[in-house]
Homo-oligomer: A and B are copies of this chain.
Amino acid sequence: MTNPASPAPIIRSLDALREMTRSWKAKGETIGVVPTMGALHDGHLSLARAARSATDRVIVTIFINPKQFNNPDDLKNYPRTEHEDARKLAPIGVDAIYVPDGAQMYPDGFSTKVSLDALTDVLCGAHRPGHFDGVATVVAKLLLQTSADQAFFGEKDYQQLLIVRRMALDLDICTTIVGCPTVREIDGLALSSRNLLLSDRARTTAPALSEVMEAITEGLAAGETMHNLVPLVLERLERAGFGEVDYLELRAASDLSLLDTPTEPARLFGAAWLAGVRLIDNVPV
């Protein structure tokens, strides 16, 4: 609804946000929200565009959520680029950028945690203790703060997408969770704010992760098993310059149960360290 040329207003207080959403709701307008931690790239922008075409009003939230960082250095180093983020959003014509601070989100005395006893103990959940509790808690808050009809999440963080969808359903939050395809660089690297942390040299190496995932997908299509394929590609990743591989697993797309061959709709998940940066990716199989 905003003139695409004009920059969206930046809202920092929950009161101002609620005043705005109430006036939209009173007119019968629908609201889409795109929760982000800033450092926006084309992946985020594709979510904002999806929201723009699906709902009357679009809010992009930028909040680097301390509760989902299990590693203090990762939190400290996470890129902060608010001015640049606002500039990138301007051509899309979102209606508001909501940038709450920590005291707004977690005031003194804050005590509540939203957690899930399914979907959270594998993949990134196994390697980042507490991470998905932090995600579920902050997303519950953001959905309820924005009164969104639809919320847009990237399939890049597929486990997060399933967890958020389950949480919203379980808590009867009236927001439809919409998953959007991963956006990639021309060389296949999945877009991620963490890519900004890669050295030029590591950036050249990084596409090896999506390449080996592509190779596994082809192997599975040819009737091979994860059991046989994974050792081969682990060697390839190591040769390319990757460090530790957190996981490289085939899992059911519905409930993340572990598979050796794609006997049901499945996704291949990978997470590996490259020069101190943790990269993740996943593809449908």
Contact = CB atoms under 8 A, between A and B. Distances in A.
A166 B109 contact: yes
A127 interface: no
Interface string A119-144: 10000000000000000100011001
B109 A118 contact: yes
A220 interface: no
A275 interface: no
Interface stretch (A170-178, A223-231, A263-271): A170-178
Interface size class of A (residues with CB under 8 A): 20 to 34
A111 interface: yes
A19 interface: no
A111 B145 CA distance: 22
Query: Most chain-B CB neighbours within 10 Å: which of A14, A113, A170?
Result: A170
A114 interface: yes
B172 A144 contact: yes
A112 interface: yes
Copy total for this chain: 2
Contacts of A115: 112-113, 115
Contacts of A110: 170
Nearest to A145: B172
Given A141-B172, A144-B172, A173-B144, A114 B111 contact: no
Nearest to A146: B172
A114 B116 contact: no
Contact of A111 (B112, B141, B166): B166
Interface in A172-201: 172-174
B173 A112 contact: no
A110 B170 CA distance: 6
A88 B110 CA distance: 38
A111 B170 contact: yes
A90 interface: no
Nearest to A22: B174
A240 interface: no
A14 B117 CA distance: 24
28 contacts: A18-B174, A109-B118, A109-B166, A111-B116, A111-B117, A111-B118, A111-B166, A112-B114, A112-B116, A112-B166, A112-B167, A112-B170, A112-B171, A113-B114, A113-B115, A113-B116, A114-B114, A114-B171, A140-B171, A141-B170, A141-B171, A141-B172, A144-B144, A144-B171, A144-B172, A144-B173, A144-B174, A145-B172
Nearest first, the 7 closest Cβ-Cβ pairs linking A and B are A112-B170, A111-B118, A144-B172, A111-B116, A145-B172, A141-B172, A112-B167
Interface of A: 14, 18, 109-119, 136, 140-141, 144-145, 166-167, 170-174
